[in-house]
Chains A and B, each alone.
Chain A
Amino acid sequence: MHQPPRWAVRFFDWYCHPGLSEEIKGDLLEQFEHDLDTIGPTKARRNFVLHVIKFFHPKIYKRSYSFAKPTIMMMFLSYLKLAKRSMIKDKVYSVINIAGLSVGLAAGLMITMHIIHELSYDKFHDKADRIYRVAELVTQEGETIENSASLPIPFGTTFLTDYPQFKVTRFFETYNKSPLISWEEGDKRFYEDQFLFTDSSFFDIFSFKLIKGDKATALKDAHAVVLTESMARKYFGDVDPIGKTLKYEKDHLLTVTGVMEDVPSNSHFKFDFLASFQETAQVLKAGGVGSVGDSWFWNPCHTYMRLPEGFHTSDLENLLTEFTQKRVPENLRSDALSISFYPQPLTDIHLHSDLYQEFEPNGSASSVYFSGIISFFILLIAGVNFVNLSTARAVRRSREVGVRKSLGARRSQLIWQFLVESVLISVESMLLALAFIYLLGPSMENLLQLQLGMEVILNPIFHVALWSLVILLGLTAGAYPAFILSGYKPTVIFSDSTNRAGVRRSSWVREGLVIFQLSISTFLIIATIIVFNQREFLFNKDLGFEKENIVMFSIRGTELKDNFEVFRGEVLKHPKVVEASALGSPLGEDALVTRTYFEGIENHLNVYMIAADPNFLNTFGFEVIEGQKPIPGQPIEYDRYYANETFLELFPDSSLASLPRLVGRKRDRQDPIVGIIKDFHFYSLRSEIKPFLFRVIPANHLSFAAVKIQPGSTFNTLNFIEETGQKFIGEQPVDFFFLDDRLDQLYQKEQQASLLFGYFAMLALIITCLGLFSLSSYLATQKTKEISIRKVFGASIANILSNIFKGYLKLILAACIIVVPLSWFMMSNWLQHFAYHVELSWYTIAVGVMASGLIAVVTVSFQSIKAARTNPADSLRLE
């Protein structure tokens, strides 16, 4: 066979650009073969040389054509194809990686959405930065006795008279907070707990949207009411509500003048109705309040104002001081009792204000930071998994790198290939996470009792941030294989048959990351156990009175109040009703600090006090340690007091008999303390028990009824109580609540925290275990040969396992060393928030550590045992 001259071929190879060589050489050879057949070998060779020389041209050896470089798009598609192949090749790895990452991302994303929602409170109002709420501080001899979100009724109107350049609006809720609203034409009547009276300037300050009606005039009329869309539907259905008449309680008539969009969930006050507060006295009377609304002491009105342009917080503070000096009655500016006002920026209220009389329990900045940190850690754990797995797996792929390099892949192409691969995984995980949130978001809101604020999913900025994070995550995870692995020389990769080079180099990073993951999951487990214990403690702690099976309702109208004894006699006829009593407020959540004067003592004392009728002792099962219970049948003596044990600390060295009598402010009465009852928790368990007095008064001054019933056929019993009540109050429904339910709500935050912790700890542990599982399987495969050789030399399975586990135990131990002091410190700090809390014990922490350690060991043992049991003949034969 004739060949073209070798030197010519070599010359061609030397000058021709590699990207063009293949095709041109092919053409040259084809021509040569053709020439051989037609003009004979000598001429063919001469022709070949001639062509080679003619091709020696800058355009051939420099090559500046773009086609020879594959286009970016082409390479990208090829990277995608390779990524797909490698994912399919290693299914377990891909599934674990994507599942773990998407669960982590979903959790992190949900919390982020929740935080965004929390931070967005009240920002939707126009110029929200100029809207303020005024709060009131009541002090007594320098001691704060009330820090209230609501103000005296005259504040708003007086302030507006003095400073007309401000816009001021007040909110007033009726005393019992759920008035009966009825539309008589349509025969609709409901108790509404979101009913606000307000001033006509409401819409000048707040930017809620009216669907029907005119903002400028909607609240002008003294009997105007604006209702939300959903209320319009509830009362009027398809009927146009404008101009219809609603009745507030018994006789206050209101005309619908507007329909408003429902209040967004990120408003710190929510309402369904806005009615005119113009005729204040009439509104108060309709709500069953005796006052005419000119008191500077009673403070039921939340008051908001919009500052004129150019006014600052400090200006407003000065103005409020000046105003207080000028307008507040002198007896409320003395040392004995003084009130002062201070502004709160509207947008700070939700996260930073926790005053008496808030509209609803606000969020707290610390819990936002806290959940932010937790979700960040979950994301971190998931991210660490992803990085670790990609790294561990990359080592196995070093051969692939070698082959690709020998076939002419450039380093940059390999880098891109690995980066595209890991970015693809992170993008897929994010898509899954988003799908998860989209489908399960609403049920997660219920489960975690969190507002997620789903609307943020439609926000483009959110997505920009989201996807940048995803790409960053992918790039980070791909960085090790991309930059380190792609730098290896193929000869090194192929000659180092154990492939250990990469393992050793990355192992300390990986071990550090695993320790980090284990620490976080263990911490979360410990925190969950403690938070859960504390929650159980709060719910189950003996409060010193019986809260179970107590049905309560607020007493409406004087008919029932005046005839409460008759009512009591009627309900007691039912076999399931044990006892009934009237009292001033539900027990266990609140009590009023009252200035109390005592015989022989010049100054007053501050004592917590609740008023009740004499039957409260039996209804709530109070234990009287000293003194007398009212004797049935005997005439009842009113204005008698029962003190708690702590009360005695105010009068050391005295017994019940020697306790001073209470005298009125004018020292015109002498009322004795007739009994000592065992200490009970009249406040939430966050605060300590303080000196307390029960004041026994007739039922006609009391606003709550409490009925102790026996468990079983509760529905019938309630029905009976309602029917009995309706004999007095007419055809109104009675809104019952169970005392224990109501008291459980005091601990909503703890309830939510324990839920959050529980789910997060579970998630963190699952993700960590996923990571450990696949990591251990990689490390086990890497060690297959080592294990086999050990077995050949006589090591038992136990020997090998202990050898493998030693490595993991080291990691678990390191995590323990970090976690134990950390969790001790953090959790004992948290428990300090409660005056009454569970004891933090080493036992609890040990349980948490053991649990997570055990789970980790079990996880790694699957693959390790498998590896230890392999037949050496199989694995050693591989090469």
Chain B
Amino acid sequence: MSTNKRKTLGELEEVVLLTVGVLQEEAYGLAITKEIERVTGRSVNMRAIHTTLYRLEEKGFVQSTLGGATKQRGGRRKRLFTMTREGHLAITETKNIRMQLWNLLPAALGGGTNE
């Protein structure tokens, strides 16, 4: 990965990327939207999820292919997303940063290590 132009993850990007990982073979726009709604309990803008997915693909964190046509969806094909190695590295890094910060947090606020 290039060092001068570091690809970072925004909050929504992180959630979408994780969901792509969660859904495995069935990660396409609508399914991801629904899954995020289900997990967070909030309503999510489907358009925002689509554009986020496209941005993630541009950044190289996910890959997509067009799936086969089915009778549902008026015969339209789905764009199926899968996480790339880089995507996995990116969320792992984000997670690690969070964990470090959590560990530095005073115990009273729920932080600290379990040493």
Query: Using a CB–CB distance below 8 Å, which chain A residues touch chain B?
Result: 20, 22-27, 29-31, 33, 51, 54-55, 57, 59-60, 65-67
Contacts and interface: CB of A to CB of B under 8 A. Distances in A.
B35 to A, nearest CB: 13
A51 B33 CA distance: 13
Interface of B: 28-30, 33, 45-47, 50-51, 54-55, 57-58, 64, 66, 72-74, 76-79
Nearest to B75: A26
Contacts of A23: 28-29, 66, 76-79
8 contacts: A23-B78, A24-B50, A27-B46, A30-B30, A33-B73, A55-B50, A65-B54, A67-B54
Contact of A22 (B51, B72, B77): B77
B20 to A, nearest CB: 14
A30 B77 contact: no
Most chain B CB within a 10 A radius of its CB, from A22, A27, A59: A27
B73 A59 contact: no
B51 A60 contact: yes
A30 B54 contact: no
A67 B58 contact: yes
A55 B46 contact: yes
A35 to B, nearest CB: 12
7 smallest beta-carbon distances between A and B, as pairs = A26-B76, A26-B73, A27-B30, A23-B79, A65-B54, A29-B74, A59-B51
Most chain A CB within a 10 A radius of its CB, from B54, B66, B72, B77: B54
A65 B74 CA distance: 25
B5 to A, nearest CB: 15
Nearest to B62: A67
B50 A66 contact: no
Nearest to A33: B72
Contacts of B77: 22-23, 26
A22 B68 CA distance: 12
Given A51-B46, A55-B46, A67-B57, A27 B73 contact: yes
B47 A25 contact: no
B55 to A, nearest CB: 8
Contact of A65 (B28, B47, B57, B73): B57
B64 to A, nearest CB: 6
Contact of B47 (A26, A55, A67): A55
A67 B62 CA distance: 10
Contacts of B29: 23-24, 27
B44 to A, nearest CB: 11
Given A23-B28, A54-B45, 17 more contacts: A23-B78, A23-B79, A24-B29, A26-B73, A27-B33, A27-B73, A29-B72, A29-B74, A30-B30, A30-B72, A30-B73, A55-B46, A55-B47, A55-B50, A60-B51, A65-B55, A66-B58
A20 B79 CA distance: 9
A54 B45 CA distance: 8
Contacts of A20: 50
A869 B14 CA distance: 73
Nearest to B50: A24
A209 B54 CA distance: 65
A27 B66 CA distance: 13
A33 B66 CA distance: 21
Given A31-B30, A54-B45, A26 B78 contact: yes
A57 B46 CA distance: 12
Interface of chain B, main secondary structure:
helix
B54 A59 contact: yes
B47 A54 contact: yes
A46 to B, nearest CB: 15
Most chain B CB within a 10 A radius of its CB, from A24, A26, A51, A57: A26
A30 B50 CA distance: 15
A26 B74 CA distance: 7
B66 to A, nearest CB: 7
A65 B55 CA distance: 7
Contacts of B33: 27
A30 B76 CA distance: 9
Contacts of B76: 22-23, 25-26, 29
Contacts of A31: 30, 46
Most chain B CB within a 10 A radius of its CB, from A22, A30, A54, A65: A30
A494 B78 CA distance: 33
B32 to A, nearest CB: 10
Contacts of A67: 54, 57-58, 64
A23 B55 CA distance: 16
Contacts of B54: 59, 65, 67
Nearest to B65: A67
A33 B46 CA distance: 16
A30 to B, nearest CB: 5
A381 to B, nearest CB: 47
A29 B73 contact: yes
A275 B45 CA distance: 95
A750 B73 CA distance: 80
Contact of B28 (A27, A51, A55, A57): A27
Nearest to A9: B74
Nearest to A4: B74
B100 to A, nearest CB: 33
A25 B74 CA distance: 9
A27 B81 CA distance: 14
A54 B51 CA distance: 12
B23 to A, nearest CB: 14
Contacts of B46: 27, 31, 51, 54-55
A555 to B, nearest CB: 85
Contacts of A66: 57-58
A57 B47 contact: yes
Nearest to B51: A59
A30 B79 CA distance: 13
Contacts of A24: 29, 50
Contacts of B66: 22-23
Contacts of B28: 23, 27
Contacts of B74: 25-26, 29
Nearest to B79: A23
A27 B54 CA distance: 15
A5 to B, nearest CB: 14
Nearest to B45: A54
Nearest to A51: B46
A54 B64 CA distance: 23
Nearest to A65: B54
A516 B78 CA distance: 56
B57 to A, nearest CB: 5
Contacts of B30: 27, 30-31
B30 to A, nearest CB: 4
Nearest to B32: A27
Contacts of A22: 66, 76-77, 79
Contacts of A59: 51, 54
A84 to B, nearest CB: 22
Most chain B CB within a 10 A radius of its CB, from A20, A55, A67: A67
A594 to B, nearest CB: 87
Nearest to B81: A67
A506 to B, nearest CB: 38
Nearest to B30: A27
Contacts of A55: 46-47, 50
Contacts of B64: 67
A23 B57 CA distance: 15
A772 to B, nearest CB: 47
A442 to B, nearest CB: 51
Contact of A60 (B50, B57, B58, B78): B50
Nearest to A23: B79
A65 B66 CA distance: 15
A30 B31 CA distance: 10
Contacts of B58: 65-67
Contacts of B78: 23, 26-27
Nearest to B33: A27
A27 B26 CA distance: 13
Nearest to A27: B30
A59 B54 CA distance: 9
